[in-house]
């Protein structure tokens, strides 16, 4: 019985090492690709504007958050903010005031009342014509996606949750990836590093009947792309950093202690934990780095 | 039992070593990153000053060649590539002299041979942006069949960059179908070099890559007189190019009521047509432009798009 457990521990270790090596390799490949594409300016200035992205944002936190999400150089991009004016009246009014938004008439084919939509707002200022505010009852939040997708202008939808920020030039990176394939052939793009990102083809969302029903496995292999790059990031949280630090300290101390007493299988398990936590910390650190570097680099290098 | 103990001890040793190596590597990267960035920025600035001095003073040589060779030819190569990529009609002669003097071309080819995948493509991309000799043209041919698509494209770009006269021949030899991403890159390079482009000859070619380049040129410069050539490409056999042609026709605000175009739109897959309708609405086509050849429900959809706030505000 004892040796069965030991073999199990060894197999888990081999799997953990394999997983870490694969992820590190993929992430480094992703970085090399990003470096290559950072010197490719053509897609921003000279590509036909067929491919566009509509970012749909829920649970917006502040006006500053909207400004950050609007700060994208690629022209075929828009931001649809979905919020309930009654649950956050102050923030709603602040957004209306800050962007000088006015209520506009919009009569899509589907009855809006069924989706809980109270109104649409657009800015009077030309500089903010990429922003749309959708006032929707919170009880219809599960249907927010549908309402927002109907409002969106472009063929790819990027849902963004409240606290999430976009890494600089993330949209441009997605556009570069999409424009490597024939128009409309890609249905889903995901980035599995860090906070997961999912970019949906609008027609596929409508066909499946919502974001949540669009399972990764249900889509053809040629119609989906996986990126090993961080495109979203969460503002660094002190609690998470402390938790990761504590995990590493406990695992190191535990590994020494068990090694001292000759409990090899336990040492091995703790080293596995250390390896996986280290991988998590590494991925978090490269995302924070890329976010802070942003556009400081010369000549727009990413 | 003893064997198992040894196996576990070996496992612990290997894992601990791996952890130490990874942690050490990460620590080194974190510690040296600020220094490396400062150093690169400083070399970059000095080199740019030196190049600008060559351009404005008319001197033959860039000052401090040894300094740049010592401090990193990669940074210098990146700098030259960026300079060439962000200026139009720059006299290539001074840069050619600097490249020769600092041995940039040999350095980049060494890197190309050593690296793989995207890193190899990166160095080939740098080579494609600097003035290179015939040797580069010959060596680039080796990478036209690389496993990585980006490497193949960058190798083809090196060949195009060497010979302005034969650049279309290099593109015609390229075995992959160029993507819109690559097309954008090619159009940008043509614009930077300021060379005349005869798009009619490109359209007349049976090669699809050349036809696609012509499409890119027509779209980029808004050449409405290429409407007939664009319509000629429309066919069911190549739906991908045809979809691109439709978008370009719409971007040029050409009539979609022409028989060939109308027929193609009516035979398109509904989801593709819906995407096209959204694009047409953005381009400002009226409802009347489509009245004839799309189903009623899609026409209603188009009416809702045209009537939407998005065209009335902003």
User: Between β-strands A77-83 and A53-58, what pairing exists: parallel, antiparallel or unpaired?
Assistant: parallel
B252 alpha carbon, distance to own chain's centre: 23
**What are the average pLDDT values for consecutive 10-residue runs of chain A, which has 302 residues?**
83 92 91 87 67 88 88 88 88 92 73 69 85 79 67 88 82 88 88 84 81 78 89 76 88 90 88 89 69 43 36
Length of chain A: 302
CB-based contact B19 A271, cutoff 8 Å: yes
Question: Rounded distance, CA B177 to CA A270, Å?
Answer: 50
The string of pLDDT tens digits covering residues B55-80 is 777 766 666 667 777 778 888 889 88
Tell me if residue B205 falls in helix, strand or coil. Answer: coil
In a domain, A152, yes or no: yes
Indicate the number of domains in chain A.
1
Chain A nearest-CA distance from B60, in A, is 26
ipTM (interface pTM): 0.85
Domain ranges for chain B: 36-162
- The answer to whether the beta carbons of residues B80 and B127 sit under 8 Å apart is no
CB pairs under 8 A between A and B: 185
In a domain, A9, yes or no: no
Nearest to B282 among A122, A153, A203 (CB): A153
- The answer to whether the beta carbons of residues B231 and B241 sit under 8 Å apart is no
In a domain, A69, yes or no: yes
Contacts of A126 in chain B (CB under 8 A): 314
Alpha-helix residue ranges (DSSP H) falling in B115-164: 117-129, 134-140, 149-162
Structure token pair of residue A161:
């949750």
Nearest to A46 among B14, B188, B251 (CB): B188
CB-based contact B41 A298, cutoff 8 Å: yes
Residue B96 φ then ψ, to 5°: -60, -40
| B contact test, residue of A4, A35, A50 with most B CBs within 10 A | A50
Structure token pair of residue B250:
């719409």
For A176, B83, B220, the CA distances from A290, given in Å and listed in that order, are: 18, 24, 32
Percent of chain B at pLDDT exceeding 90:
19
| Rounded average pLDDT over B21-36 | 90
The string of pLDDT tens digits covering residues B87-129 is 777 788 888 888 888 888 999 999 999 998 999 999 999 999 8
In a domain, A259, yes or no: no
Tell me if residue B186 falls in helix, strand or coil. Answer: helix
Q: Domain limits at A210?
A: 51-232
In a domain, A288, yes or no: no
CB-based contact A299 B125, cutoff 8 Å: no
Helix (H) / strand (E) containing B297: helix B296-306
| Rounded average pLDDT over B250-262 | 86
The CATH number of residue A131's host domain is 3.90.550.10
């Amino acid at each position: 019985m004892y040796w069965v457990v030991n073999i199990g521990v060894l197999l888990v270790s081999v799997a953990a090492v394999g997983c870490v090596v694969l992820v590190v390799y993929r992430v480094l490949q992703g970085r090399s690709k990003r470096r290559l594409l950072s010197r490719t300016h053509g897609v921003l200035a000279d590509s036909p504007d067929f491919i566009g992205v509509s970012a749909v944002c829920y649970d917006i936190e502040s006006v500053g958050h909207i400004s950050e999400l609007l700060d994208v150089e690629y022209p075929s991009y828009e931001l649809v903010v979905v919020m309930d004016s009654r649950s956050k009246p102050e923030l709603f009014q602040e957004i209306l005031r800050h962007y000088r938004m006015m209520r506009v008439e919009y009569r899509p084919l589907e009855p809006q009342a069924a989706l809980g939509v109270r109104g649409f707002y657009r800015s009077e200022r030309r500089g903010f014509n990429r922003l749309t505010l959708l006032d929707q009852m919170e009880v219809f939040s599960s249907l927010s996606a549908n309402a927002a997708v109907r409002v969106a202008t472009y063929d790819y939808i990027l849902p963004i949750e409240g606290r999430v920020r976009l890494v600089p030039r993330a949209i441009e990176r997605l556009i570069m990836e999409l424009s490597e394939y024939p128009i409309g052939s890609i249905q889903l793009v995901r980035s599995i590093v860090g906070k997961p990102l999912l970019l949906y083809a609008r027609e596929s969302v409508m066909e499946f009947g919502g974001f949540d029903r669009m399972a990764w496995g249900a889509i053809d292999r040629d119609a989906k792309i996986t990126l090993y790059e961080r495109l979203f990031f969460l503002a660094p949280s002190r609690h998470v950093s402390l938790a990761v630090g504590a995990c590493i300290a406990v695992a190191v101390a535990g590994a020494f202690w068990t090694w001292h007493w000759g409990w090899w299988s336990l040492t091995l398990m703790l080293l596995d934990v250390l390896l996986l936590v280290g991988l998590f910390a590494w991925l978090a650190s490269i995302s924070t780095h890329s976010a802070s570097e942003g556009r400081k680099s010369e000549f727009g290098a990413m | 039992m003893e064997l198992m103990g040894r196996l576990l001890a070996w496992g612990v040793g290997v894992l601990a070593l791996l952890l130490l190596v990874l942690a050490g590597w990460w620590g080194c990267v974190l510690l040296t990153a600020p220094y490396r960035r400062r150093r690169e920025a400083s070399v970059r600035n000095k080199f740019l000053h030196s190049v600008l001095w060559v351009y404005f003073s008319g001197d033959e040589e860039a000052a401090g060649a040894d300094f740049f060779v010592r401090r990193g030819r990669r940074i210098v190569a990146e700098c030259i590539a960026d300079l060439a990529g962000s200026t139009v009609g720059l006299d290539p002669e001074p840069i050619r002299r600097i490249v020769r003097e600092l041995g940039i071309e040999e350095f980049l080819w060494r890197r190309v041979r050593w690296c793989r995948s995207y890193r190899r493509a990166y160095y080939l991309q740098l080579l494609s942006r600097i003035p290179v000799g015939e040797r580069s043209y010959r060596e680039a041919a080796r990478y036209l069949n690389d496993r990585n698509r980006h490497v193949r494209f960058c190798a083809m770009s090196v060949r195009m960059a060497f010979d302005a006269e034969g650049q279309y021949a290099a593109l015609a030899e390229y075995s992959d179908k160029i993507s819109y991403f690559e097309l954008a890159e090619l159009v940008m390079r043509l614009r930077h070099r300021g060379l005349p482009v005869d798009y009619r000859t490109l359209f007349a070619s049976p090669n699809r890559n050349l036809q696609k380049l012509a499409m890119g040129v027509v779209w980029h410069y808004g050449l409405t007189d290429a409407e007939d050539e664009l319509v000629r490409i429309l066919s069911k056999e190549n739906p991908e190019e045809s979809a691109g042609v439709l978008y370009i026709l719409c971007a040029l605000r050409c009539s979609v009521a022409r028989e060939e175009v109308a027929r193609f739109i009516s035979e398109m897959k509904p989801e593709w047509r819906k995407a096209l309708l959204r694009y047409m609405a953005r381009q400002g086509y009226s409802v009347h432009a489509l009245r004839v050849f799309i189903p009623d429900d899609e026409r209603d959809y188009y009416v809702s798009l045209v009537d939407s706030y998005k065209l009335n505000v902003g």
